[in-house]
Amino acid sequence: MAEPTETSAPAASIDAALALLKSAGYVANRPLATVVFLALRMGRPLFLEGEAGVGKTEIAKVLASALGRRLIRLQCYEGLDVSAALYEWNYAAQMVEIRLAEAEGVTDRERLSEDVFSERFLVKRPLLEALEPHTEGPPVLLIDELDRTDEAFEAFLLEVLSDFQATIPELGTVKAEHAPIVVITSNRTREIHDALKRRCIYHWVDYPDALRELEIVRTKVPGADESLAREIVSFIQAIRQEDLFKVPGVAESLDWASALTELDCVALDPETVSDTLGVILKYQDDIAAIEGSRAKELLDTVRAELKAAE
């Protein structure tokens, strides 16, 4: 983990952003480092879209750990509303307070309402927490899988993301002194409205190329045999060219590398590939298409290529 930076600008250049991500174990390419740098510099939310398992969520985690900031995560789901995302009143405690006030004979309505709607009874949810000051600097707010929630919630996010403030009718407007670093991810199961995207720096996170993927495997699965890692990466790269319903992401490559390392493999062979296909392919149709002869063909090509490269 890197030293928490003291300056207001966490990364001074694209190279610094690249180094920052690398220091926390994220192997980024230059386009990604550019958008991270811009998001940090311009104080804009970073909107990351891409297939599942390409490392979108990881970017937020890495940013938090590299900058030494707190990570506040809001996992989106259908029906997510203000009371789960921003704040909620502790109703039970409020009711008790009212009863106590009655027992004491308090009849001043104004005072009672001020007492009951005070911060004491406020239950803070992720978005409100992200707007509050933190000792270690503005936190990293991860709004994960925004596409899972509905348009109504997106509209609500507009205020939070453009002005970094939120309104609680009973208390007033809470405004962040220092804007949090916001990372939004989407798997694109539906299109996010342009109004929200407009406020963000957009980036499509793609599958990495062979070189970068190899570096990722080396970084994340240090126990994996070097030649095995090469074979795994080349095989995964080859399988991404196949006509599959869901091609494996980086997460799957890493899982596979760990799985094969656990099985004490030092090289891929057709049987092991067929036996462990479930680690990288998650649809029965896809497994059926690759299993057996096609896996062997792919493996042969991969081996030939690796040999030629040596």
Partner 1 sequence: MSKNMIALETGDVGHASGGHLADNIVYFARALRAAGLPVGPAQAVDAVEAVKAVGVGPKSDFYWALHAVLVRRHEHHPIFDQAFRIFWKKRAMLESMMAMLMPSNAPRSTERREESASRRVNDALFSGITRPQAKRKPRIERDARGTVSVEEVLRHKDFDQMSAAEIARARREIVRLRLHFPRFRTRRFKASQSGRRIDPRLTLKSSLRGAGGSIDLRFRDKQERLPPVVAICDISGSMSQYSRLFLHFLHAISSDGFRMHAFLFGTRLTNVTRQLRSKDVDEALAKCSSAAQDWSGGTRISQSLNRFNREWSRRVLGQGAIVLLMSDGLEREPDGTLAREMDRLQRSCRQLIWLNPLLRFEGFEAKAQGIREMLPHVDAFHPIHNLQSMADLVEAIVSQPHRDDAKRRLLFDAARFQVRECPV
Contact 223, 263 (CB under 8 A): no
**Single residue of 18, 20, 27, 35 touching partner 1 by CB under 8 A:** 35
Considering the complex, what minimum distance in angstroms separates the CB of residue 160 from partner 1? 18
Considering the complex, what minimum distance in angstroms separates the CB of residue 116 from partner 1? 7
Number of residues that bind partner 1 (CB under 8 A): 47
Query: Which residue's structure tokens are 């869901």?
Result: 246
**Single residue of 1, 4, 79, 226 touching partner 1 by CB under 8 A:** 79
- Tell which positions 233-272 bind partner 1, by CB under 8 A: 243, 245
Distance (Å, whole) CA 24 – CA 298: 34
Considering the complex, what minimum distance in angstroms separates the CB of residue 222 from partner 1? 30
**Single residue of 1, 96, 100, 102 touching partner 1 by CB under 8 A:** 102
Contact 274, 291 (CB under 8 A): yes
**Contact between 187 and partner 1 per CB under 8 A:** yes
DSSP state of 47: E
Contact 7, 68 (CB under 8 A): no
Contact 9, 40 (CB under 8 A): yes
**Contact between 189 and partner 1 per CB under 8 A:** yes
If we measure between CA atoms, which residue out of 207, 80, 85, 205 comes closest to residue 142? 85
**Single residue of 3, 6, 119, 194 touching partner 1 by CB under 8 A:** 194
**Contact between 202 and partner 1 per CB under 8 A:** yes
**Contact between 94 and partner 1 per CB under 8 A:** yes
Q: Which is nearer to partner 1, 147 or 215 (CB)?
A: 147
* Backbone φ, ψ for residue 121 (5° rounding): -100, 10
**Contact between 198 and partner 1 per CB under 8 A:** yes
**Contact between 122 and partner 1 per CB under 8 A:** no
**Single residue of 19, 24, 89, 125 touching partner 1 by CB under 8 A:** 89
- Strand 181-186 and strand 140-144: the pairing is parallel
Q: Which is nearer to partner 1, 83 or 227 (CB)?
A: 83
**Single residue of 41, 178, 240, 296 touching partner 1 by CB under 8 A:** 41
Any idea what the Cα angle at residue 144 is, between residues 29 and 239, rounded to 5°?
Answer: 50
Q: Which is nearer to partner 1, 113 or 227 (CB)?
A: 113
**Contact between 307 and partner 1 per CB under 8 A:** no
- Strand 122-124 and strand 140-144: the pairing is unpaired
In one-letter notation, the amino acid at residue 27 is V
* Backbone φ, ψ for residue 212 (5° rounding): -70, -40
Q: Which helix (H) or strand (E) holds 164?
A: none
Q: CA torsion angle for 139, 143, 144, 148 (degrees, to 10)? A: 170
Binding site for partner 1 (CB under 8 A): 13-14, 30-31, 34-35, 37-38, 41-42, 49, 78-79, 81, 83, 89, 91, 94-95, 98, 101-102, 106-107, 109, 112-113, 116, 147-148, 150, 152, 187-191, 194, 197-198, 201-204, 243, 245, 285
